[in-house]
Amino acid sequence: MQADLLKGIKIIDFTTYAAAPSSVRMLADWGADVIKVEGFSGDPMRSFGVNLGDTPYTEAENPVWEYENGNKRGIAVDLKSEKGMELMHKLLSEADAFVSNVRAGSLDKLGLSYEKLHEKYPKLVVGVISGYGLYGKDAPRPGYDVVAFWAKGGALVDMSPDGTSPVTAPYATGDHTTGLALASGILGGIIKAKNTGVGEKIVVSLYGTSIWVNSLMIIGTQYGVQYPQSRYAPGNPLINSYKCRDGKWITLTILAYERYWDAFCDIFGLLDIKDDPDYRTLKSVVADKERLEHCCRRIEEQFILNDREYWAKKLTDADIAFERTLQWKDIASDEQAIDNKYMKEFKMKSGNSFMLPMTPVQFEGNDGLDSNPAPLLGEHTAEVARELGYTDSEIEQMIEDGVIKQYGK
């Protein structure tokens, strides 16, 4: 089931791919009536599975499309036609928010710029995602997650092992983070419109979000911190990953170095450096590169002596923050993810099922939000048109004239 927090809120989703669609997907989960508007060729995200090995992307089985667009209704409209734009404006006249990642120039040509929409629908909240922001030389450039969030944001190089090539960016991580930011902004805009009768323009960019989420590293570089960092030259040897005897890894996150140093040394048998003043404080251990490397290698030497579960029990018993370092292939069957309903089984139209990642916000009293199937291209066109006051004969004529498309016709 969907939550009912946003019941009665209508949002027009004029978006493609992942960042902007994910923001309104979340609002749909929370109860908003989200109507996705597509052209006759559809959102390119419908075929994104081609980038993910054997991931299917058919009408009957399209897990990527289900994730980004579940709980929405979908219509297909030719917005270059006069009647198609008339239908769009009828939607906008009833909407609380309009969300788009279409570039500003294209929106302006369609008469859907913020300025024109605000003049006609002063209460409407307009949410916009761009690659690089509204100003500066990069503003008009096309920007996707991999380039605007990862490459320009610094992470591709600075997350790579020192001396290697940039890492391959994971798909849509920046998109979904940026989508979260846009969703919060849209909600703020809707509250303002409800209180004042005046809407708002909400602007979020992939690059701006990347700067925000990487802020600690960006600040650190202004004060001498250097990236990329080697595993043997971290900012803290107790915030690092270590390989165990069985080839599996454990990642430590011991922020309070001095508080846990003695207990950590006792667990791992680091008696040769436990009481050495050069190692007892974080400031002293990182002050010398050779000392820091020696500390990391001593910890590494101890980890490799036993399997991961042996060390996991020791660290758990000592109440030390750590995690078994998983891979993405492990998540769909991870007990913690399933117990918290972060992953839920979803049955597709084909009859096959997969584990669907859920949006992360949960509410008291909900046994985990469910996902209604994402819309087929034009699946709800006639339904939405009727809600706008069009008669069945008018709808049939618009279908015949190529103004709208209804799935199955």
Give the tokens for residue 360.
Answer: 């992360």
User: Can you give the C-alpha Rg of the chain in angstroms?
Assistant: 26
Sheet of 404-405: strand order equals 201-205, 125-130, 97-100, 10-14, 33-38, 73-77, 404-405
Query: Can the peptide bond before residue 21 be classed as cis, meaning omega within 30 degrees of 0?
Result: no
- Cβ 384 vs Cβ 94: under 8 Å: no
67: number of CA atoms within 13 Å, CB side? 24
Pairing of strands 343-347, 322-324: unpaired
Expressed in angstroms, the distance from the first to the final Cα of the chain is 30
Beta strands in 138-240 (DSSP E): 201-205
Distance separating alpha carbons of residues 59 and 266, to the nearest angstrom: 58
Q: From the centroid of its chain, how far is CA 12?
A: 20
Catalytic residues: 175
Amino acid occupying residue 265? C
Query: 65 in helix, strand or coil?
Result: helix
Ramachandran angles phi, psi of 38, nearest 5°: -125, 155
> Which among 102, 85, 86, 78 is positioned nearest to 14, based on CA atoms?
102
Dump the DSSP string for 320-356. Answer: --EEE---HHHHTT-HHHHHTTSEEEEE-TTS-EEEE
